[in-house]
């Protein structure tokens, strides 16, 4: 199956994480996931991250290691930091998906 390379997405990023086939991402392990979360799920993810106490949000950042300077500092409003974080997750320099972040967040919050 041949993947489609989108403008602005590096070949290294695609090789490291997934590639687009139609409207699905085919992960390295062969499992398909939706290319985009539905609006309700995206909004829930944003709201949950925005409501996290700062130490838990910092724990998530520590675990995922976004590049320095990608996320606004701790003095910035949490909503700005969440927006920066999710933009990084969806951008070409991240090897994570929103679904993976949602799963990590569920583990952090001990929810199913």
CA distance 26 to 31: 6
Summarised one tens digit per residue, pLDDT across range 51-91 is 999 999 999 999 999 999 999 999 999 999 999 999 999 99
Whether residue 32 has pLDDT greater than 70: no
Sign of the CA dihedral 77, 79, 80, 82? Answer: positive
The H or E element that residue 95 is part of is none
- Mean pLDDT computed over every residue of the chain: 76
Q: Sketch the domain layout of the chain as residue ranges.
A: 1-35, 37-108
**pLDDT of 10 higher than 60:** no
**pLDDT confidence of residue 112:** 59
pLDDT at 36: 58
């Amino acid at each position: 199956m041949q993947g489609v390379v989108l403008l602005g997405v590096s070949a290294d990023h695609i090789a490291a994480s997934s590639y687009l086939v139609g409207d699905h991402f085919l992960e390295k392990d062969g499992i398909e996931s939706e290319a985009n979360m539905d609006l309700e799920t995206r909004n829930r993810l944003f709201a949950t991250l925005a409501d996290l106490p700062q130490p838990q949000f910092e724990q998530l950042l520590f675990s995922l290691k976004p590049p320095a300077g990608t996320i606004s500092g701790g003095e910035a409003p949490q909503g700005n930091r969440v927006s920066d974080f999710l933009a990084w997750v969806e951008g070409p320099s991240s090897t994570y998906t929103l679904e993976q972040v949602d799963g990590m967040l569920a583990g952090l919050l001990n929810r199913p």
